[in-house]
Amino acid sequence: MKILVPVKRVVDYNVNIRVKADGSGVDLANVKMSMNPFDEIAVEEALRLREAGAASEVVAVSIGPKEAQETVRTALAMGADRGIVIEAAGPVEPLAVAKLLKAVVAEEAPGLVILGKQAIDDDSNQTGQMLAALLGWPQGTFASKLALGTDAIEVTREVDGGLQTVRLTLPAVVTADLRLNEPRYASLPNIMKAKKKPVDVRDAGQYGVDLAPRLTVLKTAEPPARPAGVRLGSVAELIERLNAAGVI
């Protein structure tokens, strides 16, 4: 079985985000970019399924600028077999991404699509659900555990009330949550090998998908600064403050 893993290029989670002076967005000049952490977890899970003999090939696909090839190369260095990059100028919203992924699924015919539950830049948490709806496939979101069978997959989901396990008939779409696994580090030999693995670069225009944004960002602002803490002299004073604030 083939597993398709969509991966997104985002600002590295260790970077302190700077908002542009005019509030039009985030300043990306000279900012370190990396693979979306949830997608990294999805790649790791796909690799584990292949290593367990449940899958024969792992294909990483990214949609974005030409620099997205670096993100796909990261997935290849982790162990993915080959990559696909669909180049698109400007931001691509979740619905357009889902439509492009649907076209890739039609070409690649995977038995399973695993992707991160959300990207840390827009936090939309929509692409996996939209892709499943467009394909007409069952979906398991917020996965913290997977058990793959011959014709079905059991997905343990993280929900508000605890854990929920669902059984999906393959092919299916699964979105990875934080506790699904711990991604591996790419070793230097694998990084060198990744340079020789095939990456198919395509243009988004060949799929006939409307990439025009449907949302307009009105303003981007930094979160308000937290007020400084106050040192209190006693527990009694703390209780008095909490009572005054209506906390207790």
Per-residue pLDDT 10s for the chain (248 aa) are 999 999 999 999 998 888 888 888 888 888 999 999 999 999 999 999 999 999 999 999 999 999 999 999 999 999 999 999 999 988 899 999 999 999 999 999 999 999 999 999 999 999 999 999 999 999 999 999 999 988 999 999 999 889 999 999 999 999 999 999 999 998 999 999 999 999 999 999 999 999 999 888 888 888 888 888 888 999 999 999 899 888 88
Residue (of 8, 2, 3) closest to 72 by Cα position: 8
Cβ contacts of residue 13 below 8 Å, gap of 6+? 34, 37, 120
Q: What pLDDT is recorded for position 161?
A: 86
Asked if the 2-244 domain carries CATH number 3.40.30.10, the reply is: no
In this structure, are residues 117 and 223 in contact, taking their beta carbons and an 8 Å threshold?
no
Pairwise CA distance, residues 236 & 150, whole Å: 63
Sign for the CA dihedral angle at 218, 32, 191, 44 comes to negative
Q: pTM of the full predicted structure?
A: 0.87
In this structure, are residues 71 and 95 in contact, taking their beta carbons and an 8 Å threshold?
no
Q: What pLDDT is recorded for position 105?
A: 98
Q: What pLDDT is recorded for position 246?
A: 87
Cβ contacts of residue 108 below 8 Å, gap of 6+? 2, 4, 59, 84
Pairwise CA distance, residues 42 & 187, whole Å: 18
Query: What is the SS3 assignment for 25?
Result: coil
Q: What pLDDT is recorded for position 101?
A: 98
Looking only at the bridges linking them, the beta strands covering 2-6 and 112-116 are parallel
CA dist 111 to 172, 202, 206, Å? 7, 22, 24
Residue 130, token pair as written in the block: 């939209």
